[in-house]
Amino acid sequence: MFLEQRRDEMKVLVCYFSASGVTKKVAENIATVVNGDLFEIKPVCKYTDEDLDWNNSQSRSSLEMSDKSSRPQIEKSNINISNYDTVLIGFPIWWYTFPTIISTFIESIDFTGITLIPFCTSGGSSMEKSEADLRRAYPNYNWKSGKRLTGREDSNFINNWLNN
């Protein structure tokens, strides 16, 4: 349904933040399936392996996720959001929800009137908490149900998800 409705409509934008490359791979696959544009949410200061050590309570990611007001800086974008009516936003699950860098991105653009579809990558955590947290943090936006992906899904799986 989603893809059939897209044929003569505005373009789709697939935005993603990827720390290890898995979310990037998924986002590229989604962009190919929907014939959409791809945009990487890039932190000004790239995350190192030490930054991502969730076992270290003093690692950068641990500190950011323990402070929900944290807004890691992202590189400036020149996205003309008016070219899109649907934006998919992808991220890895951190501490059972979306990383705070996603808040930085969402708060940098006015998504009023745009359909937002989240997707996440995770080996085990579900999408439900992330979706609820996004809806609670940004209640004025038009959120559609998202999907947790592992990075092993093929184009047919992505196509079926977006059409159902």
* Sign of the alpha-carbon torsion through 30, 62, 110, 142: positive
6: burial class by Cβ within 10 Å (0-12, 13-18, 19+)?
middle
Closest CA to 16 of 87, 72, 69, 70: 87
Q: What is the pLDDT of residues 17-49, one digit of tens each?
A: 999 999 999 999 999 999 999 999 999 999 999
Cα–Cα distance between 147 and 117 in angstroms, integer?
A: 9
Report residue 7's pLDDT band, with 50, 70 and 90 as the boundaries. very low
Give the pLDDT confidence score for residue 55 in this predicted structure: 85
Residues 63-74: tens digit of each pLDDT: 999 998 999 999
pLDDT score at 8: 55
Q: What is the pTM of this model?
A: 0.91
135 falls in which pLDDT band (50, 70, 90)? very high
Q: Can you point out the beta strands (E) in 5-164?
A: 11-16, 37-40, 84-92, 115-121, 142-143, 147-149
For helices 100-107 and 128-137, the axis angle rounded to 10 degrees is 40
Ordered structural domains, the chain, with CATH: 2-163 (3.40.50.360)
